[in-house]
Amino acid sequence: MRDLIIKAGKAVLEAIYFFLKLFPQKNRITFISRQSNSPSLDIRMLESRIEQGGVSAVVLCKKLEPGLGKKLGYCFHIFKQMYYMATSKVLVLDGYCIAASLLHHRKSLAVVQMWHALGSLKKFGYSIIDQPEGSSLSIARLMRMHKNYDYIFTSSPHCIKAFSEAFRYGEDEFTVMSLPRVDALLDEERDRTKAALIYEAYPQLKTKKTILYAPTFRKGFDMSDAVNRLVDAVDYEKYNLIIKLHPLTEGQIHVSQAIWDRHFSTLDMLSVSDFVITDYSAVTFEAALKGKLLFFYAFDLDEYMRNRSFYIDYQQEMPGMIETEADKIIRMIEENGGEPARVKDFADKYIEKQSNCTKEMTDFLIGLLDE
C-alpha cells in the first residue's frame, strides 16, 4: 500500500510539473533547504553576493516536521518548490529535497548539491541504508534519494570517497569547493561583532575562560545523564560553560551555573570560546578551522558506532582527547591538554580552500546560467 501511495503521488507531481515546465525559464538561481525554516548562513552569504552581481535569487526554506498538519503544509510547499524549479536555470540544495530528486527536470536546469556540513565525519545517505538512523533501501529507491544532481561540492579531496558512497555518484563527479561559512568563520571583524553581542547578553563570559559544549543530536535518545555529568564536572570558579543542544534533545538537564543558550548559533559561540567539547558533530570542522582546542566527550561511542559509524578513523583522526567520562575531559582542559598542531592539520586536511569561498561559489553558480 505504501509503495502504491508513493507511486501515485509521484505521478500526480509529474503531471503538475509537466505544465509548470511550460512557463519560461528565468535567469534565476533558486535555493531550497529543509534544514531550517530560515536561511542558513551559507545561503544568506550566497544570496547577498549573487544579488550584488545583478542576478535574481530565490530562497525557499521549510523544515519537514512531525505531525500530520505540518506534513500537509510541507506538501503544499512542494508545489511552490516545483514552480521555482521549473522556471529557474540553477537550483542549489543543501540536503535531500524530495521534488528535486523525484521529478524529471528540463535539461537546461543545473542542480547543485552543496550539502550543509563541512567535511565528512558521521555517515549519512546511502552509507546508512537499512540501519537504525538511516532510510530503508525500498524507500530510498522509491523516493529516488539524491538523484538528479549535476554538481556536488565537497570541502576537500579527502571527503570525496565518503560523499561518493553517501550519494552514490562517481568520484569524478565532485567539485572541491568550501562553503561560504568558511569566510565568516575566519573574518576577525565579524568575530569581534558577534563576541560583543554575546558579551552583552552574558557579561559573565568576560571574566573567565569559556568552554563550549556542542554535542550532535541523537534521535530518540535521552542524553540528560551524560550532559548533567559534564555540567557537574566543571569548576565554575575557573570556567564558564556554554551548552548548545539541539532543540529536540530529549531529557531533563540541570543547568547549574552553566549557560544553556538558545539565542546565538553554535558558530557564533565559537567567537567567545577557548575550548570546545563535542562528540560526533560536524562543528568539529568549524572549531578546528578557528584553531579552537578540541575535546571529545564520546560517552556512547560503541553504541554510536553500531548505529551509524563514521567515514574516518574516529579514534585515530579526531584532533583531541577522546573520553567517555566527563570528569576526565574537564581535567584535561585544566591541564592544558589540547593539541593545537593536530587541530590545524585536521582543518587543513578536510577544508582545502580557506579563503574567498563565497566569491568562488557565487562565480561558479552564476557561470552555470550561461551554460
Q: Give the domain ranges of the chain.
A: 2-182+354-369, 187-350
Do 187-350 and 2-182+354-369 have the same topology in CATH? yes
Pick the CATH number of 187-350 from 3.40.50.2300, 3.90.1150.10, 3.90.470.20, 3.40.50.12580: 3.40.50.12580
* Residue of 371 and 299 predicted with greater confidence: 299
Give residue 248's pLDDT. 64
Give residue 148's pLDDT. 98
User: CA 365, 350, 262, 332: dihedral to nearest 10 degrees?
Assistant: -170
CA-based torsion, 57, 60, 61, 64: positive or negative: negative
If one counts every other C-beta atom within 10 angstroms of the C-beta of residue 49, the result is 19
CA-based torsion, 220, 145, 177, 36: positive or negative: negative
Global confidence as pTM: 0.94
Residues contacting residue 76 through CB under 8 Å, at least 6 positions apart: none
- Checking if the pLDDT of 247 tops 80, the result is no
Burial class (CB in 10 A: 0-12, 13-18, 19+), 252: exposed
Nearest to 297 by CA among 283, 273, 281, 277: 277
Name the band, by pLDDT with cuts 50, 70 and 90, for residue 43: very high
Give residue 176's pLDDT. 97
Rounded mean pLDDT of the chain? 94
Give residue 217's pLDDT. 83
Name the band, by pLDDT with cuts 50, 70 and 90, for residue 251: low
- Checking if the pLDDT of 6 tops 90, the result is no
Please state, in angstroms and rounded to a whole number, the distance separating the CA atoms of residues 190 and 188: 5
Please state, in angstroms and rounded to a whole number, the distance separating the CA atoms of residues 229 and 282: 23
80-104 mean pLDDT: 98
Give residue 352's pLDDT. 96
The CATH code that applies to domain 2-182+354-369 is 3.40.50.11820
